[in-house]
């Protein structure tokens, strides 16, 4: 423990460190041992906080989901115009996924756990389903408001928008394209036009 860490870290602070480590090593690569060392606890002391590695993983996902709602969804929902709300959902997500400390943990974890049944996969699936439902609702409101053509399928639009986001994540994180954000925004503009915006 460093001089700056003379007091014990709170549970929330330990989870915050775990989120940083999961962003770098992946959720499956999150280690009780390395986390214990980082926060100045013994392994048994850390087990007292989480009970198991799986308990740690689910707490990290819960905390990350709360951050996601706070940083991506809530600021977008504050927009009164449905089309502005839809655009803000995209732009906030681009900021979220473009952060330097590993991008979107949910996208990364989905590829880690998509074929591995269990509580972690269930949690990631629920969070991803909620996100898609949020996009579909935003599209529905834009249709109701007349911002998109009346025949627009919210489910199809959300599918295409979600695909655009996943493509951005790959371009930004793996291919390391500096143009990823501008390409995503251009693709979103084309998507809007194709649905009569």
Give DSSP secondary structure letters for 92-149: HHHHHHT-TTTS-HHHHHHHHHTT--SHHHHHHHHHHHHHHHHHHHHHHHHHHTTSS-
Q: Is the pLDDT of residue 6 over 60?
A: no
CA-based Rg of the chain, rounded to a whole angstrom? 19
∠ Cα 153 155 161 (to 5°)? 100
Q: Rounded to whole angstroms, what are the CA distances from 94 to 18, 66, 113, 133, 164?
A: 22, 17, 23, 18, 10
Q: Which of 94, 97, 106 is nearest to 64 (CA)?
A: 106
Q: Which pLDDT band holds residue 7 (cuts at 50, 70, 90)?
A: low
Average pLDDT, the chain: 90
pLDDT given for residue 3 in this prediction: 44
Of the ranges 5-9, 75-79, 180-184, which one carries the lowest mean pLDDT score? 5-9
Gap between the terminal Cα atoms of the chain: 56
Q: Is the pLDDT of residue 2 over 60?
A: no
What is the mean predicted confidence (pLDDT) over 43-50?
Answer: 83
What is the mean predicted confidence (pLDDT) over 165-172?
Answer: 92
In order of start, what are the domains of the chain with their CATH numbers? 3-194 (1.10.357.10)
Of the ranges 92-96, 101-105, 185-189, which one carries the lowest mean pLDDT score? 101-105
């Amino acid at each position: 423990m460093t001089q700056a860490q003379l007091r014990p870290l709170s549970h929330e602070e330990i989870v915050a460190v775990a989120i940083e480590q999961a962003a770098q090593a992946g959720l499956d690569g999150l280690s009780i041992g390395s986390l214990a060392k980082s926060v100045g606890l013994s392994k048994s002391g850390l087990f007292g906080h989480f009970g198991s590695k799986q308990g740690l993983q689910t707490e990290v996902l819960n905390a990350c989901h709360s951050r996601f709602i706070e940083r991506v969804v809530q600021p977008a929902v504050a927009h009164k115009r449905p089309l502005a709300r839809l655009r803000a959902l995209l732009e906030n997500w681009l900021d979220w996924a473009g952060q330097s400390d590993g991008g979107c943990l949910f996208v990364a974890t989905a590829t880690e756990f998509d074929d591995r049944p269990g509580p972690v996969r269930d949690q990631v699936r629920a969070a991803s389903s909620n996100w898609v439902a949020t996009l579909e609702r935003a599209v529905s409101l834009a249709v109701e408001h007349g911002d998109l053509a009346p025949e627009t399928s919210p489910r199809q639009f959300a599918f295409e928008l979600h695909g655009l986001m996943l493509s951005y994540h790959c371009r930004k994180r793996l291919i390391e394209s500096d143009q990823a954000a501008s390409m995503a925004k251009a693709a979103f503009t084309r998507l809007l036009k194709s649905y009569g915006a």
